[in-house]
Chain A
Amino acid sequence: SRFTQQELPAWKPILTPGWVIAVFVLIGITFIPIGLASLFASERVVEIVDRYDDGCFFLNTNQSLLLDYIRNPKSNKTCTRSLTSPLFSVLSNLTTFIFQVPKKMRSPIYIYYQLGNFYQNHRRYVKSRSDKQLRSRKGEDEIKDCQPIARSGEKPIVPCGLIAWSLFNDTYAFSSKNKALTVDKKDIAWKSDKEHKFGSDVYPKNFQSDGLIGGGKLNHSIPLSEQEDLMVWMRTAALPTFRKLYGKITVDLEANEAITVVIQNNYNTYEFGGEKKLVLSTTSWIGGKNNFLGIAYLCVGGICLFLAINFILMYIFRP
Chain B
Amino acid sequence: MRGGTGKGIHFSKLYSFSCFRSKFEDEHGQLGQRGYSRIVYCNDPDNPEAVQLKYRGNYVSTTKYTALNFIPKSLFEQFRRVANLYFLVVACVSFSPLAPYTAVSVLAPLLVVIGATMAKEGVEDWRRRKQDIEANNRKVEVYGKKAFNETRWKNLRVGDLVKIYKDEYFPADLLLLSSSYEDGICYVETMNLDGETNLKLKHALDETASLRDVSSFQNFKSTINCEDPNERLYSFVGTLYYGGQQHPLSLQQILLRDSKLRNTDYIYGVVVFTGHDTKVMQNATDPPSKRSKIERRMDKIIYILFSTLILISFTGSMFFGVETKNDIRVGELKRWYLRPDKTTVFFDPKRASLAAFFHFLTGLMLYGYLIPISLYVSIEVVKVLQSIFINQDQDMYYEETDKPARARTSNLNEELGQVDTILSDKTGTLTCNSMEFVKCSIAGVAYGRGMTEVERALAKRKRSRAHEVTDSSSDLPECDDHVVDSGKPVKGFNFRDERIMNGNWVNEPHSDLIQKFFRVLAICHTAIPDVRKESGEISYEAESPDEAAFVIAARELGFEFFERTQTSISLHELDHESGRKVNRSYTLLHVLEFSSARKRMSVIVKTVENQLLLLCKGADSVMFERLSKDGRLFLAKSMDHLNKYAEAGLRTLVVAYRELSDQEYKSWEEEFLQAKTSVSAARDALIDAACDKIERDLILLGVTAVEDKLQKGVPECIDKLSKAGIKIWVLTGDKMETAINIGYACSLLTKGMKQIVITLDSPDISDLEKQGDKESIQKASRESIAKQIGEAKAQIIARKESSVTFGLIIDGMSLDFALAKSLESSFLEVAVNCASVICCRSSPKQKARVTKLVKVGTGKTTLAIGDGANDVGMLQEADIGVGISGVEGMQAVMSSDFAIAQFRFLERLLLVHGHWCYRRITMMICYFFYKNITFGFTLFWFEAHASFSGQPAYNDWYMSFYNVFFTSLPVIALGVFDQDVSARLCLKHPLLYQEGVQNILFTWHRILGWMLNGVISSMIIFFFITNSTISQAFRRDGHLVDYEVLGVTMYTCVVWAVNCQMALSINYFTWIQHFFIWGSIAFWYTFLVIYGALPPKVSTTAYQVFVEACAPSPFYWLATLLVVVSMLLPYFAYRSFQTRFKPMYHDIIQRRRSEGSEADVSAELPARVKEKIGHLKERLKHRES
What is the interface of chain A, defined by CB distance below 8 A to chain B?
4-17, 20, 23, 27, 31, 34, 38, 47, 67, 108, 110, 112, 114, 118-126, 131-132, 135, 147-149, 162, 165-166, 190-192, 196-197, 212, 214-215, 235-245, 248, 268, 271-272, 281, 283-290, 292-293, 296-297, 300, 303-304, 307, 311, 314-315, 318
Contacts and interface: CB of A to CB of B under 8 A. Distances in A.
B1033 A119 contact: no
A318 B1024 CA distance: 35
Contact of A296 (B950, B1028, B1031): B1028
Nearest to B1154: A14
A13 B1069 contact: yes
A290 B1140 contact: no
25 contacts: A8-B1071, A10-B979, A10-B1070, A12-B1154, A14-B1154, A23-B1132, A34-B1118, A34-B1121, A119-B335, A119-B338, A123-B951, A162-B337, A192-B1096, A214-B336, A238-B1047, A242-B1040, A272-B335, A281-B1038, A283-B1036, A287-B1033, A290-B1030, A292-B1027, A292-B1030, A293-B1028, A314-B1141
A191 B342 CA distance: 34
A300 B1126 contact: yes
B1032 A122 contact: no
Contacts of B1041: 238
Contacts of A120: 1043
A195 to B, nearest CB: 9
B1154 A243 contact: no
Given A121-B945, A235-B1042, A242 B1122 contact: no
B495 interface: no
A110 B1038 contact: yes
Given A16-B1154, A293-B1119, A311-B1136, A122 B946 contact: yes
A126 B951 contact: yes
Contacts of A10: 979, 1068-1070
Contacts of B1108: 190-192
Contacts of B947: 119, 122, 240
B1069 A287 contact: no
B1118 A286 contact: yes
B1139 to A, nearest CB: 5
A307 B1133 contact: yes
A148 B1141 contact: no
A242 to B, nearest CB: 6
Contacts of B395: 5
A286 B1037 CA distance: 10
A110 B1038 CA distance: 6
Contacts of A281: 1032-1033, 1038
Nearest to B947: A119
A283 B339 contact: no
A156 B218 CA distance: 91
Nearest to A234: B1042
B1038 A283 contact: yes
Contacts of A27: 1125
B150 interface: no
Nearest to B1050: A238
Nearest to B1031: A243
B1032 A290 contact: yes
Contacts of B332: 67, 271
A197 B1046 CA distance: 20
B1129 interface: yes
Contacts of B1140: 15, 17, 20, 311, 314-315
B1031 A197 contact: no
Given A20-B1136, A122-B949, 9 more contacts: A9-B1070, A12-B1154, A14-B1154, A126-B1043, A190-B1039, A214-B336, A281-B1038, A288-B1034, A311-B1137
Contacts of A11: 1068-1070
A238 B389 CA distance: 48
B1026 interface: yes
B1035 A238 contact: no
Contact of A121 (B946, B1036, B1153): B946
B334 interface: yes
Nearest to A120: B1043
Interface stretch (B7-15, B137-145, B442-450, B1109-1117): B1109-1117
B945 A296 contact: no
A13 B1070 CA distance: 11
Nearest to B1045: A238
Contacts of B1132: 23
A4 B1039 contact: no
B1123 to A, nearest CB: 9
B1154 A5 contact: no
A248 B1038 contact: yes
Contacts of B983: 6-7
A5 B394 contact: yes
A34 B1122 CA distance: 10
A264 B1044 CA distance: 30
Contact of B1103 (A20, A31, A192): A192
B1067 interface: yes
B504 interface: no
Nearest to B362: A123
Contacts of B1122: 31, 293, 296-297, 300
B343 A148 contact: yes
Given A6-B977, A296-B1028, A311-B1137, A238 B335 contact: no
A318 B1141 CA distance: 8
A135 B393 contact: no
B1151 to A, nearest CB: 6
Q: Which of B1028, B1068, B1103 has the most CB of A within 10 A?
A: B1028
Nearest to B337: A166
B1125 A12 contact: no
B1096 A236 contact: no
Contacts of B821: none
Contacts of B1027: 292, 296
Contact of A119 (B339, B346, B946, B1113): B946
Q: Which of B393, B1033, B1035, B1044 has the most CB of A within 10 A?
A: B1033
A162 B100 CA distance: 18
A248 B1033 CA distance: 13
Contact of A131 (B945, B950, B1047, B1097): B1097
Contacts of A147: 344
B1139 A122 contact: no
Contacts of A126: 951, 1043
Q: Which of A239, A241, A284, A289 has the most CB of B within 10 A?
A: A239
The 7 closest A-B pairs by CB, nearest first: A288-B1032, A288-B1033, A238-B1046, A110-B1038, A166-B337, A148-B342, A123-B949
Contacts of A268: 336
A124 B1040 contact: no
Contacts of B585: none
Contacts of A214: 336-337
Nearest to A237: B1042
Contacts of A16: 1151, 1154
A6 B1039 contact: no
Nearest to B346: A124
B1070 A8 contact: yes
Contacts of B1118: 34, 38, 286, 293, 297
Nearest to A291: B1028
Contacts of B1137: 311, 314
Nearest to A125: B338
B472 to A, nearest CB: 31
Given A14-B1151, A166-B337, A123 B100 contact: yes
A90 B1147 CA distance: 68
Contact of B1113 (A8, A197, A237, A287): A287
Interface in B654-693: none
Interface in B1012-1070: 1024, 1026-1047, 1067-1070
Contact of B1150 (A14, A108, A284): A14
Contact of B951 (A38, A67, A122, A162): A122
B1070 A286 contact: no
